[in-house]
Amino acid sequence: MNEMAVVADLTGQFRNLLMDQLSRVMEMEENSRPPKNFRELSRITVGICPGDGIGPIIMEQAERLLRVVLRDEISAGRIVLKPIEGLTIENRLQKMEAVPEEVLEEIRKCDVLLKGPTTTPKGGSLESANVTLRRELDLYANVRPVSVPEEGIDWIFFRENTEGEYVLGSKGVEVPGKLSFDFKVTTEPGTRRIARKAFDYARDNGKDKVAIVTKANIMKKTDGNFSRICHEVGLHYPGIEMEDWYIDIMTANLVNPEIRSQFQVFVLPNLYGDIITDEAAEIQGGVGTAGSANIGDQYAMFEAIHGSAPRMIEDGLGDYANPASLFKAVVMMLRHIGFTAKANGLEKILEECLETEKSVVVTGFPEGATCREFADYVIGKLD
């Protein structure tokens, strides 16, 4: 193809992307519905997808934990745990679908999903299962709490989860051997709804400050608008102060013990949120220790913050994987579906096991405890 034909082809591709994104904006504007009220449901179905790598190992223990915590509700039929098969890298590659259609159908039949980490191939065209699920189920708020009580750190990150750098991450264009483009998308309704989630949380939890974190000095359109929209939303929350920060200096601030405990609630675009929440989790004790909630108005998915750790499996260390991150996701799920007291109880036990008592410690190596031993320790403390 000559160069002009390539330009015409790529322009056509961009036009289609633009049209798709405009219809997504229209859909968001037209289809916004009040959030599902779990307390009113007579039955809540929790889907369980173990995932890849260490996923099945940590999920086995998370499911055991759930079966103990929700014993009565499960026997009364109020809660149904529904194992879902097929969200594996082998099946996904074989079908060349990020989330095979029949798996997605099963997932949609649930009210919430507890998901183990899934492997994402680098390059190629298979999209990450996480990205697909977040988009298909419209899980627009990625909520990640991090706390270090002895330092007074109590952070919560509201990462935009369906657009930004991710929405067209597998739809970039290139002129091979010459150049490549990826796209970042910020929409008005997409930003407004994540900002509302962050400010609602601040208001309902006695916080008085929200940090809006972007790189608006460089990404002038997408981050510039993200910041502006957050400010517009924040004006409706009197008493909550808004602070603008750039992502680079905020990344530095989080490792500055002099100032880091002053931050409370963060709202930020997708990719910055992805990166800084790994940093924050590391400050808490490692990515194995942080839970992650993906919240939409009609559906929610709870998962570990980390990946499937294929290297641990290759090295034969799978049994030493830390289930703490997924256990924290279980706490967030219990809270989301209305079991506040059970969530608080389990949270307290996890704090004891991970921060104060530490009688059984998982290190990822045979010198430490196994995943199952840690689960026994936690379960032993329940009632």
Give the residue from 305, 342, 263 showing the smallest Cα distance to 44: 342
Which residues in the 110-129 window bind ligand IPM by CB under 6 A? 120, 128
Please say which residue, 89 or 362, places its beta carbon nearer to ligand IPM. 89
Which residues in the 23-52 window bind ligand IPM by CB under 6 A? none
Which one of residues 131, 216, 281, 371 is an interface residue with ligand IPM (CB under 6 A)? 131
Instruction: Give the count of residues interacting with ligand IPM (CB under 6 A).
Output: 6
Question: What H or E segment, with its residue span, contains residue 148?
Answer: strand 141-148
Q: Does 57 bind ligand IPM (CB under 6 A)?
A: no
Q: DSSP assignment of 154-179, as one string?
A: EEEEEEE-SSBTSTTTT--EEETTTE
The CB-of-304 to ligand IPM minimum distance in angstroms stands at 9
Please say which residue, 134 or 336, places its beta carbon nearer to ligand IPM. 134
Q: Could you tell which of Mg ion, ligand IPM, none binds residue 130, using a CB distance below 5 to 8 A set by kind?
A: ligand IPM
The CB-of-128 to Mg ion minimum distance in angstroms stands at 10
Which residues in the 243-302 window bind Mg ion by CB under 5 A? 274
Q: Could you tell which of ligand IPM, Mg ion, none binds residue 100, using a CB distance below 5 to 8 A set by kind?
A: none
The CB-of-120 to ligand IPM minimum distance in angstroms stands at 5
Give the residue from 60, 58, 63, 277 showing the smallest Cα distance to 155: 277
Which residues in the 183-242 window bind ligand IPM by CB under 6 A? none
Give the residue from 257, 201, 194, 259 showing the smallest Cα distance to 227: 194
Please say which residue, 120 or 284, places its beta carbon nearer to ligand IPM. 120
Q: Does 160 bind Mg ion (CB under 5 A)?
A: no
Q: Which residue is nearest to ligand IPM (CB)?
A: 128
Residue type for position 193:
R
Q: Could you tell which of Mg ion, ligand IPM, none binds residue 128, using a CB distance below 5 to 8 A set by kind?
A: ligand IPM
Give the residue from 337, 232, 264, 326 showing the smallest Cα distance to 295: 337
Which residues in the 25-44 window bind Mg ion by CB under 5 A? none
Q: Does 307 bind ligand IPM (CB under 6 A)?
A: yes
Q: Does 54 bind ligand IPM (CB under 6 A)?
A: no
Provide φ and ψ at 243, rounded to 5°.
-125, 130
Which one of residues 88, 130, 162, 191 is an interface residue with ligand IPM (CB under 6 A)? 130
C-beta of residue 337 within 8 angstroms of C-beta of residue 44: yes
Contact letters for ligand IPM, residues 259-288 (x by CB under 6 A): ---------------x--------------
Q: DSSP assignment of 64-113, as one string?
A: HHHHHHTHHHHHTTSEEEEE----SHHHHHHHT-SS-HHHHHHHHTSSEE
The CB-of-287 to Mg ion minimum distance in angstroms stands at 8
Dist CA 96 CA 89 (whole Å): 10
Distance of CA 84 to the CA centre of its chain: 19
The CB-of-74 to Mg ion minimum distance in angstroms stands at 31
Helix, coil or strand: residue 133? helix
Please say which residue, 131 or 229, places its beta carbon nearer to ligand IPM. 131
Tokens at 307, concatenated? 């990946």
Please say which residue, 146 or 242, places its beta carbon nearer to ligand IPM. 146
Residues 6 or more apart from 151 whose CB is under 8 A from it? 257, 260, 261
Distance of CA 340 to the CA centre of its chain: 20
Which residues are at the interface with ligand IPM (CB under 6 A)? Answer: 120, 128, 130-131, 274, 307
Which residues are at the interface with Mg ion (CB under 5 A)? Answer: 274
